[in-house]
Amino acid sequence: MKLKQLAAAAALAAAFAATALSPVNAETFRLSHNTNDTTTWQKGAEKFNELLQEKSGGEMDVRIFPMAQLTGGDQMKQAEMVGRGALDFVVTSAINVTPLVPEMAVFSLPYLYTDYDDVDATTSGEPGERMTEIMAEHGIVVLAWGENGFREVTNNVKPVKAPADLEGLKMRVAGPMYIDVMNALGANPQQMQWSETFSALQQGVVDGQENPIGAVIIPQRVYEVQKYLTTWHYSYDPIFVGVSQKLWDSWDDETKEMVRSAAQEAMTYQKEITREDTAKGVDFLKEKGMEIYEPSAEEIDAFRQATQPAFDTWAEKVGPDLVSLFQNAIEGEGNGENAQSN
Ligand code: X2X
């Protein structure tokens, strides 16, 4: 009898504790992303959740679904679901949105960027704002830009030092633009979900792939199934936190501001750790037994020239005005004009 009463009291106390921790009107939103739960994408999403809880006094939080689980592993479908309000939040990279918003391919045009300063001049300037407007036309509110990073090529056949080394290699790619880029380089590209890529590399279904070092190659242990990596920096891929326009419109200004600042702080953090992990990455990968080739400026130029036809095709698709907007921001940054004229 006594024991029973004790158990009942304990249960009651636990129930009280639970209510105290989560206010009655607490709302949990769903956030989808398409890498696994070890990546900087995940860490950025977790940081967003923490900040959202903190800023809302526990009234708002997000449940994170990695590996595009909510779209059956289809990484391109996430943006479409957010766009029609079937999913609340997404953390994904530009290339995954290109079937819905072809203009998003502008970020990843081969050799558009040379370094992080170029990147930052676009994501924190007018080009980033323009892309946010374009995304809003598709029902997605971009809250903040983060980083997947410069995509480096890996394979299991040989070191890649020049375009000719890619001849005939079976390369897994994430999206349509990379098909054209790989074709221009003489490789055999195959579009494949990221969720299927590790085992495809392991089983030799494909010879290689390309992804950023800090955000993806290291945390997802690509080095376990790939021997060679070339730091060719051929294409950049940003990530972003997006929210469905429907959900966004349901909030008052104060809530909007709170959600936006949580996303911005989270992506600042995500970008920082991604750059740190990338900087340490080459040494780490060597330790893990990968053979790393770091091409010279002339060798990079040969890759740039070989990919020019794909650049031209996609510059036409995304719109020459948009490409110019990006190029002007990059050039402005390059000669310091930006800093002076602002
Ligand atoms: O699928 C990829 O290669 C990844 C994880 O980088 C993207 O989402 C584009």
Check if 194 has its Cβ closer than 6 Å to any atom of ligand 1.
Answer: yes
* Ligand 1 atom 6: residue of nearest CA: 211
Within 8 A by CB and 6+ apart from 292, the residues are: 228, 229, 230, 231, 282, 285, 286
Nearest to 95 by CA among 148, 35, 146, 152: 148
95 lines ligand 1 (CB under 6 A): yes
CA of 79 to the centre of ligand 1 (A): 14
Residues 6+ apart with CB under 8 A from 123: 145, 238
Q: What pLDDT was estimated at residue 4?
A: 59
Pocket-testing residue among 194, 195, 206, ligand 1, by greatest number of atoms within 8 A of Cβ = 194
Taking CA atoms, 335 is separated from 112, 177, 234, 268, in Å, by 16, 30, 22, 25
* Any ligand 1 atom below 6 A from CB of 39: no
Task: Give per-residue pLDDT as tens, 65-111.
Answer: 999 999 999 999 999 999 999 999 999 999 999 999 999 999 999 99
The reported pLDDT for the residue numbered 1 is 45
In a domain, 19, yes or no: no
Contact 200, 172 (CB under 8 A): yes
If you take atom 1 of ligand 1, which residue's CA is the nearest one? 194
DSSP symbols for 136-155: HTTTEEEEEEEEEEEEEEEE
Is residue 336 a part of any domain in this protein? no
Alpha carbon of 215 to ligand 1 centroid (Å)? 10
- For residue 87, being part of any structural domain is answered with yes
Considering the domain boundaries, does residue 182 fall inside one?
A: yes
**Domain coverage including residue 228:** 26-317
Per-residue DSSP letters for 173-215? ESSHHHHHHHHHTT-EEEE--HHHHHHHHHTTSSSEEEEEIII
Residue 105 domain flag: yes
Q: Token pair of 12, please?
A: 């009651």
Distance 211 CA to ligand 1 centre (A): 7
pLDDT of residue 340: 34
Q: In the prediction, which pLDDT does 334 show?
A: 61
Number of domains the chain contains:
1
**In angstroms, rounded to a whole number, what is the distance separating the alpha carbons of residues 87 and 261?**
20
Four-CA torsion 17, 20, 23, 28, nearest 10 degrees:
-40
- DSSP character at residue 216: I
Sites in the chain below the pLDDT cut of 70 = 1-24, 334-342
Cβ atoms of 236 and 150 closer than 8 Å: yes
pTM reported for the whole predicted model:
0.91
Give the CATH number, domain containing residue 264: 3.40.190.170
Task: Tell whether 101 is covered by a domain.
Answer: yes
The 3-state DSSP class for residue 33 equals: strand
For residue 291, what are its two tokens? 């053979």
**Residue 35 domain-assigned (yes or no):** yes
Q: b vs e for 64-85, b when ≥16 Cβ sit within 10 Å of the residue's Cβ?
A: bbbbbebbeeebbbbbbbbbee
